[in-house]
């Protein structure tokens, strides 16, 4: 049985958001007992458990009410939201603070030899991405048709591998694009990490704990500014 009295926070287990998510919670005074690869890490000095999962799972865990809080990139959150809306599935969540990390943009990029004149140059072509819903929204707004090559990694090698004509991928410095002979053409979504909570009532004790945590987070983030 799950213990519903403990506040459950979902964070990325391993990746670009995990160190800063952990550091933020530690800076809020939480003593995290993290053992190796375990899924759950208990907080020793508060009734809080951390769930260490893939970032892609975090929005669903919140929207299904399985976890109380989560720290996730807005790109992943928005993609899940669009997917659930399309499927008429539950997408109940509350956006809380933006975090001062995880900044990136979702951009279109093409081979540097491509004669790019704007998104219409990609009409009828194949675009590789991990974010088909965000990509579709962008092209639907412009009334442009395209095909998708859905990849969960190595998107930047798709044009060279002959899998796609262009890509739509996350960029921060642009070094990965350059190393693969690609040029960024259009930013379709700007993202950073965000704290989200599930919908519904938390009950008095959990709500009090959440309020305390949020106040501490604000303090930590202000101190950093
Ligand atoms: P997981 O194994 O958890 O699924 P992942 O490979 O999907 O990990 P990461 O590469 O660790 O994810 O990125 C996590 C999040 O970090 C992204 O969804 C995005 O919000 C943010 N991010 C910030 N900068 C970048 C970048 N340059 N490339 C990719 N993601 C970035
Ligand atoms: Zn992921």
> What's the gap in Å between 99 CA and the centre of ligand 1?
14
Q: Which domains does the chain have, with CATH numbers?
A: 7-102+192-224 (3.40.190.10), 104-191 (3.40.190.10)
**Mean pLDDT (whole number) for 117-144:** 98
Q: For atom 23 of ligand 1, which residue has the closest CA? A: 102
Question: Starting at the edge strand that comes first in sequence, how are the strands of the sheet with 93-98 ordered?
Answer: 32-33, 40-43, 48-53, 7-12, 69-73, 193-198, 93-98
| pLDDT tens per residue, range 3-54 | 788 999 999 999 999 999 999 999 999 999 988 889 999 999 999 999 999 9
Residue 179 Cα distances to 21, 66, 104, 111, 214, angstroms: 29, 40, 18, 11, 40
> Which of these, 50, 46, 45, lies nearest to 21 by C-alpha position?
50
pTM of the model as a whole: 0.96
Query: Within 6 Å (CB) of ligand 1, which residues are found?
Result: 12, 15-17, 54-56, 73, 75-76, 102, 104, 170-172, 191
Q: For atom 13 of ligand 1, which residue has the closest CA? A: 16
Give the span between the Cα atoms of 161 and 181, in whole angstroms: 12
> What's the gap in Å between 25 CA and the centre of ligand 2?
21
Interface predicted TM-score (ipTM) of this complex, two decimals: 0.97
Residue 149 Cα distances to 67, 152, 204, angstroms: 32, 10, 47
Give the span between the Cα atoms of 166 and 2, in whole angstroms: 45
Beta strands in the chain (DSSP E): 7-12, 32-33, 40-43, 48-53, 69-73, 93-98, 104-111, 126-129, 147-150, 166-171, 182-191, 193-198
| Atom of ligand 1 at shortest range from CA of 130 | 7
Percent of the chain residues past pLDDT 70, beyond the cut: 99
In this model, does residue 217 exceed pLDDT 60?
Answer: yes
Q: For atom 12 of ligand 1, which residue has the closest CA? A: 15
Give the pLDDT of residue 1.
Answer: 56
């Amino acid at each position: 049985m799950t213990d519903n009295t403990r506040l459950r926070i979902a964070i990325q287990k391993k990746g670009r958001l995990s160190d800063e998510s952990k550091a933020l919670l530690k800076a809020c005074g939480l003593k995290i007992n993290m053992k190796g690869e375990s899924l759950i890490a208990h907080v020793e000095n508060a009734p809080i458990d951390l769930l260490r999962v893939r970032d892609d799972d975090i929005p669903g865990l919140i929207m299904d009410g399985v976890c109380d809080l989560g720290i996730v990139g807005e790109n992943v959150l928005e993609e899940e939201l669009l997917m659930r809306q399309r499927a008429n599935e539950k997408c109940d969540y509350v956006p809380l603070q933006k975090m001062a990390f995880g900044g990136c943009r979702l951009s279109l990029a093409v081979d540097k030899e491509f004669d790019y004149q704007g998104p219409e140059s990609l009409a009828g072509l194949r675009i590789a991405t991990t974010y088909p819903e965000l990509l579709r929204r962008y092209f639907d707004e412009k009334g442009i048709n395209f095909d998708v090559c859905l990849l969960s990694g190595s998107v930047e090698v798709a044009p060279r591998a002959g899998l796609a004509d262009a890509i739509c991928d996350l960029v921060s410095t642009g070094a990965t694009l350059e190393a693969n002979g690609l040029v960024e053409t259009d930013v379709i979504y700007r993202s950073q990490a965000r704290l989200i909570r599930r919908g519904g009532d938390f009950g008095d004790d959990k709500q009090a704990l959440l309020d305390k945590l949020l106040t501490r987070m604000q303090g930590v983030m202000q101190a950093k500014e």
